[in-house]
């Protein structure tokens, strides 16, 4: 059973296809996809920048041209997903404006500098050897994500920009939408003379395909899971392939006794309420107990007026009657909603300790004017992104000036923080000489 | 049962200790070591350069002062290892000069620049945010290696230089020697006011301790296996912790039709024969069949005179009667001995294809004068180190000017090529502002 047959079956709505495929057939199918990806990656590694950019432009055009078809497939996805909650349905849904911005996204990635071939460092040795460290693609990247069809376009095209082949496995509820989008990306590749198998979607909804992907040690070089803790945990424990983790963002804002009250209020409100569903949204507010009585009331008032539910420890509840009791689980929860938990701590050391215990190594912020305190916080907190007097909603590859990203890595190996095209690369050393031998 | 008890038991030669420890006790023991390493790493992350350097200097002094004790322990190791082959016994053995060079090695690591706190990049955003990417330690590094006691000193001290705690597991035959060396390293840490648990040796010879280490996902951030393919394969398949792989070096030298014959001969002889036991030693010689008749005879003659066994394909056997037949397994073998396999290939594309099929992504070299051919080879071969007109024996962190290394990574994630102090680090982003909020 070929990919095309499966995809066609799924897209035409017949039920002879993916759902009935046996485990062995899925294993074989995924292995074949991996093999094709590996071959495509070898060609892609040497592809000129112009060809990759032509493929991205053609894919954007195809997405615009075929928007009616994509919307139709998406409507079928939405109709088949009645079990999903309203926010998840919202993530799944595509309309004209979302399709437009997907196409624009491809064009923005086209505009990024090509990282491949960049000389990252170069030096000469006393014996005349000339050494360079040069950026190369990673190879084949497996991406496992939830039912957000736009991730299909983002992830596939970002991998392509960095010369990597991708094997995409989107949430099963978005299968038809993702298939239609991948079809546009592949036609872009074809029209640029690049192998269409540079971007492949696992052509079955069967969940065992994920396990099969995680066993493809020979074909997939790195797995990027995007999704909730259960997906990340499954991938981390099952995968034999290195994983770039995107764990949840239990993001803290700490208000020090030296904080400027206006900055404190503005940073907290924006960090929490600008968009509550992003991983850089603040979840916990820590306040130096030495100044809680003065710093907190205007912050709580503004949060409350903005529609935020406020939970807090005992001392914070005493400050304002609108503060509901927080229990221990609140400190470890990523609400992704208009809810915040407030704890009073014993100065910057107390904040560092709290974050060390409950944090997720994503993004944490201090609001303070005292330089020593700021330096202590930035040095001691072990997170991918540390901020000072800035809204945590800036935790984003685009806001960092890195262009598109496929997420924020909370691991320390290979890539930490925003994962853009540059982070999807490796390097090799070139050593040039004139016949030198080692004594 | 504490680490000290176990180590003492083993070092005094009583048999009440490690060998009889039950699996559960070993699991608990290794977990405790991991926990202590994690706590030590947190302190070490903020340790000033001067303290780390003081610890390294004091450790070097301790190794010199206690050389008689180290040699005595080593003699017991050697006496207990009668089953080992002569080259392995040679790797295990310590004498005054090896101990001296171990101490000198620590001092050389002390002299290296401290990577921690380095600002790797910094830029300003149009909205006034100041972004820096700053080097930080990885955390806790687990190193699993064969019975080479000097690796204990190299690995522990290189991790320390980069602010990482290390959990060391050396080959069981070197257990007493490694224990004595670790004791010197720890006394150095103590005298510098740093936590002694920054460097720990797994205090039991029981092989199940390796499995227990590989399950310490909460405590160990990365595993570095050093050893033969069976160790690497075991670690890769069992480990739930990210691995920096050091696979075998099936190193190729390719002689192109445009090669300078004198450079060809010198590079081949040095790549193969300078030291045959290092991972950068050449194993396979590929020759452009267009020039094999002119390039090969002097090369074969020089190899033969240097005492190298020569195996070759049919065409190469016809060139010189001293060439023994090579079979398919020769192309995939890391001899680490005075043996070379010669294959004739169809120009640079044939060489690229051969290396793609049999290579190990370590180090490969082209000898050629034609710039286009060189550029094709360097671009297309997917190895950590690509060389042009240079002996492959330069594949070494020291020769690259990177100082000490704990190996050559053949993986693409995180670190590729020589792994020195800088490669044992991660980074974090510092974002400084003046109250910016995101629109």
Could you list the pLDDT tens digit for every one of the 439 residues in chain A?
Answer: 333 333 333 333 333 444 455 888 999 999 999 999 999 999 999 999 999 999 999 999 999 999 999 999 999 999 999 888 887 888 899 999 999 999 999 999 999 999 999 999 999 999 999 999 999 999 999 999 988 899 999 999 999 999 999 999 999 999 999 999 999 999 999 999 999 999 999 999 888 999 999 999 899 999 999 877 788 888 888 888 888 987 788 999 999 999 999 999 999 999 999 999 888 999 999 999 999 999 999 999 999 999 999 999 999 999 999 999 999 999 999 998 999 999 999 999 999 999 999 999 999 999 999 999 999 999 999 999 999 999 999 999 989 988 888 889 998 999 999 999 999 999 999 999 999 999 9
CA A272 remoteness from chain centre: 19
Token pair for residue B174?
Answer: 């070197």
User: B263-315, pLDDT tens digit by residue?
Assistant: 999 999 999 999 998 889 999 999 999 999 999 999 999 999 999 999 999 99
* Of A68-77, A375-384, B182-191, B220-229, minimum mean pLDDT range: B220-229
Give dist(CA B272, CA B388) in Å, integer. 16
Give dist(CA A378, CA A368) in Å, integer. 12
Residue among B352, B360, B356, B363 at smallest CA distance from B393: B363
The helix/strand/coil state of B408 is strand
Give dist(CA A97, CA A101) in Å, integer. 6
Cβ of A379 and B267 within 8 Å?
Answer: no
Q: ipTM value, please give it.
A: 0.90
Which of A240, A389, A428 comes nearest B433 by C-beta?
A: A389
Cβ of A427 and B414 within 8 Å?
Answer: no
| A contacts of B262 (beta carbons < 8 Å) | 435
Cβ of A391 and B262 within 8 Å?
Answer: no
User: B385-424, pLDDT tens digit by residue?
Assistant: 999 999 999 999 989 988 888 889 998 999 999 999 999 9
The helix/strand/coil state of B249 is coil
What residue in A sits closest to B45 (Cα-Cα)?
Answer: A380
Cβ of A222 and B413 within 8 Å?
Answer: yes
β-strands B385-390, B282-288: how paired? unpaired
A223 contacts: CB under 8 Å, gap ≥ 6: A141, A142, A143, A144, A213, A214, A235, A239, A241, A242, A243, A244
Give dist(CA B292, CA B289) in Å, integer. 5
Domains of chain A (ranges; CATH) run 3-238 (3.40.605.10), 251-399 (3.40.309.10)
Q: Is B137 left (phi over 0), alpha (psi -120 to 50) or beta?
A: beta
Confidence (pLDDT) at B6 = 37
Give dist(CA B125, CA A390) in Å, integer. 13
CB count within 10 Å of CB A172 equals 19
Q: Is the dihedral of CA A141, A145, A147, A151 positive or negative?
A: negative
What residue in B sits closest to A45 (Cα-Cα)?
Answer: B380
Residue B102 near residue B70 (C-beta atoms within 8 A): no
Give dist(CA A73, CA A11) in Å, integer. 7
Token pair for residue B367?
Answer: 């000898």
Which string of b and e fits B106-145 if b means at least 16 CB within 10 Å?
bebbbebebbbeeeeeeeeeeeebebbbbbbbbbbbbbbb
Cβ of B240 and A240 within 8 Å?
Answer: no
Confidence (pLDDT) at B245 = 83
Q: Where does the pLDDT of residue B155 fall: very low under 50, low under 70, confident under 90, or very high at 90 and above?
A: very high
Confidence (pLDDT) at B12 = 32
| A contacts of B42 (beta carbons < 8 Å) | 356, 382
| A contacts of B388 (beta carbons < 8 Å) | 430-433
Cβ of B390 and A240 within 8 Å?
Answer: no
Q: Is the dihedral of CA B397, B403, B409, B415 positive or negative?
A: negative
| A contacts of B217 (beta carbons < 8 Å) | 236
Alpha carbon separation from B256 to A431, A437, B136, B316, B341 (Å, rounded): 17, 18, 44, 15, 17
User: B331-357, pLDDT tens digit by residue?
Assistant: 999 998 999 999 999 999 999 999 999
Residue A404 near residue A380 (C-beta atoms within 8 A): no
**Counting beta carbons within 10 angstroms of the beta carbon of residue B207, is it exposed (0 to 12), middle (13 to 18) or buried (19 or more)?**
exposed
Cβ of B411 and A242 within 8 Å?
Answer: yes
Measured in Å, how far apart are chain A's first and last C-alpha atoms?
58
CB count within 10 Å of CB A371 equals 10
Helices and strands (DSSP H and E) totals, chain B: 15, 16
Residue A367 near residue A260 (C-beta atoms within 8 A): yes
Which of B378, B416, B438 comes nearest A426 by C-beta?
A: B416
Which of A356, A412, A436 comes nearest B426 by C-beta?
A: A412
B42 contacts: CB under 8 Å, gap ≥ 6: A356, A382
Confidence (pLDDT) at B21 = 57
Give dist(CA A377, CA B430) in Å, integer. 11
pLDDT beyond 50 at B83 = yes
What residue in B sits closest to A395 (Cα-Cα)?
Answer: B431
Cβ of B393 and A438 within 8 Å?
Answer: yes
Residue B334 near residue B360 (C-beta atoms within 8 A): yes
């Amino acid at each position: 059973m070929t990919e095309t047959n499966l995809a066609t079956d799924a897209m035409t709505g017949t039920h002879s296809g993916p759902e009935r495929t046996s485990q062995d057939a899925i294993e074989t199918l995924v292995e074949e996809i991996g093999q094709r990806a590996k071959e495509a990656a070898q060609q892609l590694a040497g592809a000129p920048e112009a060809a990759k950019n032509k493929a991205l432009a053609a894919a954007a055009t195809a997405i615009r041209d075929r928007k009616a078809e994509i919307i139709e497939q998406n409507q079928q996805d939405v109709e088949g997903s009645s079990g999903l909650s309203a926010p998840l349905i919202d993530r799944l849904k595509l309309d004209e404006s979302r399709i437009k911005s997907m196409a624009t996204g491809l064009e923005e990635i086209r505009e990024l500098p090509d990282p491949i071939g960049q000389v990252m460092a170069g030096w000469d040795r006393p014996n005349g050897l000339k050494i360079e460290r040069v950026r190369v693609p990673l190879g084949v990247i497996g991406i496992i994500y939830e039912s957000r069809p736009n991730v299909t376009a983002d992830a596939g095209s970002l991998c392509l920009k960095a010369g990597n082949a991708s094997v995409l496995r989107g949430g099963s509820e978005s299968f038809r939408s993702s298939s239609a989008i991948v079809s546009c990306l592949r036609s872009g590749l074809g029209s640029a003379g690049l192998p269409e198998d540079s971007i492949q979607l696992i052509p079955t909804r069967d969940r065992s395909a994920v396990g099969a992907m995680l066993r493809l040690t020979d074909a997939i070089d790195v797995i990027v899971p995007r999704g909730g803790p259960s997906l990340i945990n499954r991938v981390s424990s099952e995968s034999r392939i290195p994983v770039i983790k995107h764990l949840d963002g239990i993001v803290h804002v700490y208000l020090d006794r030296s904080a400027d009250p206006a900055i404190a209020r503005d940073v907290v409100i924006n960090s929490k309420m600008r968009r509550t569903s992003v991983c850089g949204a603040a979840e916990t507010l820590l306040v130096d107990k030495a100044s809680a009585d003065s710093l907190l009331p205007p912050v709580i008032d503004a949060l409350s007026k903005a529609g935020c539910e406020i939970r807090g420890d005992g001392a914070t509840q005493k400050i304002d009657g609108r503060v509901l009791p927080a229990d221990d689980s609140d400190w470890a929860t990523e609400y992704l909603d208009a809810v915040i938990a407030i704890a009073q701590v014993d100065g910057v050391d107390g904040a560092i300790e709290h974050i060390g215990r409950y944090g997720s190594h994503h993004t944490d912020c201090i609001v303070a004017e005292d330089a020593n305190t700021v330096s202590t916080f930035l040095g001691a907190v072990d997170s991918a992104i540390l901020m000072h007097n800035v809204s945590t909603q800036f935790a984003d590859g685009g806001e960092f000036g890195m262009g598109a990203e496929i997420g924020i890595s909370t691991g320390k190996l290979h890539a930490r923080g925003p994962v853009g095209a540059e982070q999807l690369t490796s390097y090799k050393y070139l050593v040039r000489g004139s016949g030198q031998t080692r004594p």
